[in-house]
Chain A
Amino acid sequence: MRIILDIALTHLRSRTRQTLVSLIGVTLGVGFSVATAAMLEGGQVDFERQIIDATPHIRITDEFREPQRQPVERRYEDGAVALRGLKPEEELRGIKNAHAALVRLRELPGAAVAPSLRGQVVIRHGGTDAGVNLVGTDPDAERLISDLAGDMREGRLEDLYTTANGLILGIGLARQIGARLGSSLQVTSPTGQSRLMKVVGIYRTGVTAINDGEAYNLLKTAQILQERPNVVNEIRIRLTDAFTARAIARRVEAMVGYKAESWQEANEDVLEIFFVRNIIMFTIVAGILVVAGFGIFNIISTITFEKARDIAILKSLGFEERDIRAIFLSEGLAIGVIGALLGWVLGYVLTRIVGSIPLEVDFYTEITQIPVLVSPTHYALAAAFALVSSGLASYLPARKAARQNPVDIIRGAA
């Protein structure tokens, strides 16, 4: 095998410039593939982490996937006559038997559960109005299911207990209406109930939409403000393993009957964009490596043409077809292996450079630096693709070279 490699490397050295061009092709392909994958998956993982940290993993609301069947439809299930113009039964909104549901949900392994009442309110401060999602919660339960306590930039979550009509605002919302810690705000619910509330805390999550549009107060206070005593319309669940949320949400929905939405389902659109983006980018990167493969095909074809006499010599000495094939295949693979190794270095350096660039973007989530993820899988995949590409690119000319009849070559040289 050593002799095969010696001959292969000697051939490559004899075509230094072409070898270098092919090598650069593979190096760039692998390097950009690794760096692009690091950015793509880094962005996706960062997004998921921020969503997982800032939002409940499963959210049960007082809604149903399918519209509730009306009493008359239930009464005449197999009726042959369609009844039209029925007035739907008006039901009081909120999760029925929430307490019983909470007890059952708390039995789920690895799940923390918190009830809340979510409703739209208008907050007025200094002549500025803002429509806000007000979440009535219990701070002790909230601590179990979200990172709100850790996200507090000013004040503390527990201050909701100690301050009557206390309110915690997102940092974007506070800036929008010019509120600070201790500010008094007029909060008005859709039922017309209005109450003066005091800002006891300001939080900042990684999700811009939450920072700009959500406020928290005590559950009891929210129920009074919304005129819905003892009602909760939302149960939020946090799981030990957030990535099991989709499956558990299905179980929970079957258990309680209400719509249970996992964080993946809630962010389906964005996650689909990530998926499509990944396909597009990996297609481009694969294209780069295929082009690099053409470079390898070119050089190996040239070498087999130039070294036809060597092939005849080797065969006359007792080398077999498979030896000749191995020589030229080794040449392609050598370019692939060296290119992949250099590409790894290039990819790592690019990843580190890109990851250190400061950035201030508030899009869906807050980004302060381009998020990157260094994963051995990216390196392995890029190298594997480069090796397959270089192997295929060199196999065809190698096979052709190996099949050459030495007698024809010798006669041609004579």
Chain B
Amino acid sequence: MSTAELLVRARGMTRILPGPVPVTLVHDIDLDVARGELISIIGPSGSGKSSLLYLLGLLDQPTSGEISLDGQPTTGLGSHALARLRLEKIGFVFQFHFLLQEFTALENVTLPMRKLGRLSPSAQEARAMDILDELGMANHAHRRPDQLSGGERQRVAIARSLANDPPMILADEPTGNLDSKNAANVFAIFSKLTEIHGKSVVVITHDQDLAALTERQIQTLDGRIVQDGAVSRLDKAPAG
């Protein structure tokens, strides 16, 4: 994989939670994420999927090892620089949609743009409407999260993750609370984002069928990557 294609490069990434009994969340992981790649991470609960995602998303810092994002090493960066990288280069989608309840769908989507401050307020609103429209949510732009269904909320959360046009979307079990139809829709959106918009999408899921829709599957166990490849080649060992 050429450097130009590489978006994330992690080497020897270990995360240990300090305490009376230190807990190793992620152990010595090497991982590359290419631009436009759709990756699913699967594995049993406690296998380190979310910890790996938070490290890739710069929400957490590895105890040892290093991560480069878009060619920029992140080891030793201060909180200001890390926050800036999250704002510009990473979009998050969580299981429980995590929208601000008092803001409308449109306001939630403009939030990252307002923080970045590159566009005028009218341009921010226009872009947010475009994204919502592309995700079939334009008619719900002025509704608050409590006026939307679970699938609709998740689509708004995806729209928000795209607000600043980041090269990478990280999704932590985005379909965990959705029915199969809505879950398939979300994965269809992720596919479209990688194929048409060239985004890299890393998504955690427990659903093997949904994982099979991705071109690359990573399986974790006890904080390590035990499989990295196509779903058909994955070890179907039971979780736990």
A binding-site residues for B, Cβ under 8 Å: 2-3, 7, 10-11, 13-14, 309-310, 312-321, 323, 405-407, 410-411, 413-414
Q: Which of B42-64 contact A (CB under 8 A)?
A: 50, 54, 57, 59-60
Give the docked Cα–Cα distance between A313 and B79 (Å). 16
Q: How far is A410 from B176 in the complex, measured between Cα atoms in Å?
A: 14
Chain A: minimal CB distance from B85 (Å): 8
Q: Write the B103-114 contact mask toward A (1 if CB under 8 angstroms, else 0).
A: 100000001101
Which of B28-36, B91-99, B182-190 sits within the interface? B91-99
Residues of B within 8 A of A410 (CB): 50, 54, 59, 94, 98, 172
A317 to B88, CA, bound (A): 9
| Contact status A310-B50, CB under 8 Å | no
Complex Cα distance, B57 from A315, in Å, reads 11
- Across the interface, B102 reaches (CB within 8 A) one of A14, A313, A413, A414, namely A14
Q: Which of B57, B99, B116 contacts A316 (CB 8 A)?
A: B57
Q: What residue of chain A has the Cβ atom nearest to residue B116's Cβ?
A: A318
A sample of 9 inter-chain contacts (CB < 8 A) reads A14-B101, A310-B100, A312-B98, A317-B87, A317-B160, A318-B115, A319-B83, A321-B79, A414-B96
Residues of A within 8 A of B57 (CB): 316
Q: A10-B102, A309-B98 are in contact. Are A315 and B54 (CB under 8 A)?
A: no
Q: A14-B102, A310-B100, A410-B94 are in contact. Are A317 and B79 (CB under 8 A)?
A: no
The smallest beta-carbon distance between B92 and chain A, in angstroms, is: 4
A2 in contact with B112 (CB, 8 Å): no
8 nearest interchain CB pairs?
A318-B87, A318-B86, A3-B114, A320-B83, A10-B102, A316-B92, A313-B98, A317-B112
User: Which of A317, A320, A411, A414 has a CB less than 8 Å from the CB of B111?
Assistant: A317
CA distance A305 to B6 in the complex (A): 40
Most buried by B among A315, A318, A323: A318
Contact B103 A10 (CB under 8 A): yes
Could you give, for residues 58-86 of chain B, a 1 whenever the CB lies within 8 Å of some chain A CB and a 0 otherwise? Answer: 01100000000000000000011001111
Q: How large is the interface on B (under 10, 10 to 19, 20 to 34, 35 or more residues)?
A: 20 to 34
Contacts of A310 in B (CB 8 A): 100
B94 contacts across to A, CB distance below 8 A: 316, 410, 413
Minimum C-beta distance from B154 to chain A (A): 14
- A323–B111 Cα gap in the complex (Å)? 13
B50 touching A411, Cβ below 8 Å? yes
A309, B103: Cα distance in complex, Å: 14
Determine the chain B residues whose CB is within 8 A of the CB of A320 once the complex forms. 79-80, 83
The closest CB in chain B to the CB of A312 belongs to B98
> Looking across the interface, which residue of chain A has its beta carbon closest to that of B92?
A316
CA distance A353 to B50 in the complex (A): 65
CA distance in complex: A316, B82 (Å): 10
Residues of B within 8 A of A3 (CB): 111, 114-115
- Of the candidates A312, A315, A405, A411, which one forms a contact with B83 in the assembled complex, judged by CB atoms under 8 Å apart? A315
Q: Which residues of A contact B115 (CB under 8 A)?
A: 3, 317-319, 323
Contacts A11-B102, A321-B79, A411-B50 aside, 4 further interface pairs with beta carbons under 8 A come to A10-B103, A317-B112, A320-B80, A407-B59
- Determine the chain B residues whose CB is within 8 A of the CB of A11 once the complex forms: 102
Q: Which residue of B lies closest to A11 (CB)?
A: B102
Expressed in whole angstroms, the minimum distance between the Cβ of A288 and any Cβ of chain B is: 32
Minimum CB–CB distance from B87 to chain A (whole Å) comes to 3
B79 pairs with A13, CB closer than 8 A:
no
A1 to chain B, nearest CB (A): 10
CB neighbours of B111 from chain A (8 A): 3, 314, 317
How distant is the Cα of A405 from the Cα of B98 in the complex, in angstroms?
A: 16
- The verdict on A407 contacting B84 (CB below 8 Å), with A10-B102, A414-B96 known, is no
B139-185 interface with A by 8 A CB criterion: 160, 172-173
Query: Smallest Cβ distance from B96 to chain A, in angstroms?
Result: 6
> Contacting B95 at CB < 8 Å: which of A2, A315, A323, A414?
A414
Are B100's CB and A318's CB within 8 A?
no
Closest to A316 in B: B92
Alpha-carbon gap, A407 to B62, bound state (A): 13
How far apart are the CA atoms of A317 and B80 in the complex, in Å? 13
Do A2 and B114 touch across chains, with their CB atoms under 8 A apart?
Answer: yes
How far does the alpha carbon of A45 sit from the alpha carbon of B49 in the complex, in Å?
74
Task: Give the interface centre of B79, B84, B102 by most chain A CB atoms within 10 Å.
Answer: B102
Measured between beta carbons, the chain A residues less than 8 angstroms from B88 are: 318
List of A residues within 8 angstroms of B173 by Cβ: 414
Q: Report whether A406 and B79 are in contact in the complex, using a CB–CB cutoff of 8 Å.
A: no
Is B84 a contact partner of A318 (Cβ separation < 8 A)? yes
Residues of chain A contacted by B86 (CB below 8 angstroms): 316-318
Instruction: Select from chain A the residue with minimum beta-carbon distance to B173.
Output: A414
Residues of A within 8 A of B59 (CB): 315-316, 406-407, 410
The minimal Cβ–Cβ distance linking A259 to chain B, given in whole angstroms, is 70
Query: Measured between alpha carbons, how far is A109 from B10 in the docked complex, in Å?
Result: 86
Q: If A318-B88, A318-B112 touch, does A407 touch B60 (CB 8 Å cutoff)?
A: yes
